[in-house]
């Protein structure tokens, strides 16, 4: 790994006991958990990279209770780590001696307005819950990620989540009009604005989106909705290489415009391990191909014949030698099955031994060069390494994951994580890219951040942190080095 866990924070036992009694009196003793069995699921993140510690897990029910807990902790000098669905991939949600504050009980959809096209959701709502609320009103909340059944809105905001529809709709920052935030001293900032235009000063919401809880705890948000799509076409295409994928992307975008809502790239190795390991997976094309593209078109106009538009575009692409084979889903079930091949790719890698993962972004035009050059460098560094470079080509975000050579010891392989980080991240930086496209910094990348982030940007980030959280009590040890 590229970053070691912070040293656990040691808290005064007497002071802590009084603090927990005070919190229990306000939010209820049943919602102050100290039993090791209750704490255990909250102290390790999904990849098992970090094992945390905490004296207690507290579960306030509303914004006022969150503010009370945070104010009491500030008075006692006790740091607080907020946690949503615990689906984060960089360790930002893991406490190391700090009090752990769960947002799961803040799970109300407070309001939904189909005229304003907004929904006001609390931080503990799951992404799926918000998607369903929007659908029930004939609207769309377009954020879509693999963990949407368990990840929570607060975490999506705190990591500026992206997903498969950023190409058309943007990431979480673009999907948010306003926030409600509990600051590190316990004050509540009510910024729940529904306005599309408001030039009355600094855009404060953007400080907290992507801050991973280091500047305060998001308790609610005004999220942007869209008219629900009424036509859809999903296609899986067999292609020769990422350069061909880029040509196809340009062709399809020129033909479909904003109707192109998803454009994903996948390698043969990734497709084969999905078919090998994931139940219900079926080969969609007759033959294997070196690379695959999953493309989706959607429209709010029910009479738009997107399937025909796709077929016409693919016919021209065939003639230009850009496509080797293609299938267009003929039903919602078939479209969903094609997406499942892509969505299962991360989980399928678990069955192939150790995996060193990189969540990176480069300009879309540089994606083919990045993949080719990164493959060359990584294969030269470790012959036999198996590369699974896949993801959101339409917005430049590639999950550049490296599975261990067959037969290699897993621990010995994972010990080379930092070596491959230097190879991959140096290349990304040389192309004007980012070492974290959508997962955040957390613990995993905090020691790398100074290597790649502009010095002045880091100074500004540190100044903001000191101004908003001068005692360093809000999610300490994350994003910025102490």
Largest alpha-carbon pair distance within the chain?
Answer: 76
φ, ψ for residue 214 (rounded to 5)? -85, -10
Give pTM, 2 decimals.
Answer: 0.95
Q: Where in the chain is the domain with CATH 3.30.70.2190?
A: 231-346
**CATH value of 109-227 in 3.30.465.10, 2.60.40.1120, 3.40.50.150, 3.30.390.50:** 3.30.465.10
Q: What is the pLDDT of residue 3?
A: 58
The CATH T-level fold of domain 231-346 is Alpha-Beta Plaits (3.30.70)
- CA nearest neighbour of 223 among 241, 200, 205: 205
- CA nearest neighbour of 234 among 266, 272, 263: 263
- Whether the CB-CB separation of 395 and 163 falls below 8 Å is answered with no
Q: Where in the chain is the domain with CATH 3.30.70.2740?
A: 353-439
Using CA atoms, how far residue 481 sits from 81, 169, 444, in Å, is: 16, 33, 11
The token pair that represents 127 in the structure block: 């992404």
Q: What is the pLDDT of residue 12?
A: 81
Apex CA 179: angle with CA 176 and CA 181, to 5°? 150
CA 173 to chain centroid, in Å, comes to: 12
Q: What is the pLDDT of residue 1?
A: 53
Q: What is the pLDDT of residue 54?
A: 97
Angle between helices 242-256 and 367-381 (to 10 degrees): 160
**β-bridge pairing 231-239 and 291-299:** antiparallel
Whole-number Å distance between alpha carbons of 415 and 356: 10
**Hey, which residues does 400 pair with through a beta bridge?**
389
- Whether the CB-CB separation of 274 and 281 falls below 8 Å is answered with yes
Q: 353-439 in CATH: which number? A: 3.30.70.2740
Residue with tokens 């390991």: 277
Residue segments in the chain with a per-residue pLDDT below the cut of 50: 2
The token pair that represents 314 in the structure block: 């693919």
Whole-number Å distance between alpha carbons of 66 and 84: 13
- Quick one: DSSP state of residue 302? T
**β-bridge pairing 80-83 and 99-102:** parallel
Apex CA 313: angle with CA 310 and CA 317, to 5°? 130
Ramachandran area for residue 108 (φ above 0: left; ψ -120 to 50: alpha; else beta): beta
Q: Where in the chain is the domain with CATH 3.30.465.10?
A: 109-227
């Amino acid at each position: 790994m590229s970053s070691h866990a912070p040293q656990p924070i040691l808290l005064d036992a007497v002071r802590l006991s009084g603090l927990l009694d005070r919190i229990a009196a306000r939010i209820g003793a049943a919602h102050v958990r100290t039993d090791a069995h209750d704490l255990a699921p909250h102290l390790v993140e999904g990849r098992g990279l970090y094992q945390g510690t905490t004296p207690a897990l507290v579960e306030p029910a509303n914004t006022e209770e969150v503010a009370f807990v945070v104010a009491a902790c500030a008075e006692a000098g006790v740091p607080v780590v907020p946690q949503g669905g615990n689906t984060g991939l960089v360790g930002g949600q893991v406490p190391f001696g700090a009090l752990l504050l769960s947002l799961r009980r803040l799970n109300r959809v407070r309001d939904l307005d189909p005229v304003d096209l907004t929904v006001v959701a609390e931080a503990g709502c799951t992404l799926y819950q918000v998607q369903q609320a929007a659908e029930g009103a004939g609207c769309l909340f377009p954020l879509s990620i693999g963990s949407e059944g368990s990840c929570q809105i607060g975490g999506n905001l705190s990591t500026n989540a992206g997903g498969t529809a950023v190409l058309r709709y943007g990431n979480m920052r673009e999907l948010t009009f306003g926030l409600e935030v509990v600051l590190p001293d316990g004050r509540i900032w009510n910024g729940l604005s529904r306005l599309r235009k408001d030039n009355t000063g600094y855009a404060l919401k953007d400080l907290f989106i992507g801050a991973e809880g280091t500047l305060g705890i998001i308790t609610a948000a005004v999220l942007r909705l869209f008219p629900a799509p009424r036509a859809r076409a999903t296609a899986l295409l067999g292609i020769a290489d990422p350069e061909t994928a880029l040509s196809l992307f340009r062709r399809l975008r020129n033909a479909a415009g904003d109707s192109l809502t998803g454009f994903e790239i996948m390698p043969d190795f990734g497709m084969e391990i999905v078919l090998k390991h994931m139940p219900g997976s079926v080969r969609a094309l007759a033959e294997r191909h070196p690379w695959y593209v999953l493309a989706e078109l959607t429209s709010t106009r029910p009479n738009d014949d997107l399937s025909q538009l796709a077929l016409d575009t693919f016919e021209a692409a065939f003639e230009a030698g850009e496509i080797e084979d293609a299938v267009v889903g003929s039903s919602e079930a078939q479209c969903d099955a094609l997406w499942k091949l892509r969505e299962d790719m991360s989980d399928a890698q678990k069955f192939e031994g150790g995996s060193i993962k990189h969540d990176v972004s480069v300009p879309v035009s540089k994606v083919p060069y990045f993949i080719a050059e990164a493959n060359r460098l990584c294969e030269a560094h470790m012959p036999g390494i198996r590369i699974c470079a896949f993801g959101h080509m339409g917005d430049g975000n590639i999950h550049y994951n490296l599975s261990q050579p067959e037969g290699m010891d897993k621990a010995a392989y994972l010990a080379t994580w930092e070596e491959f980080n230097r190879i991959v991240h140096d290349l990304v930086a040389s192309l004007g890219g980012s070492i974290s496209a959508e997962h955040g910094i957390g613990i995993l990348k905090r020691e790398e951040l100074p290597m790649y982030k502009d010095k002045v940007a880091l100074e500004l980030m540190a100044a903001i942190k000191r101004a908003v959280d001068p005692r360093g009590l809000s999610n300490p040890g994350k994003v910025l080095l102490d």
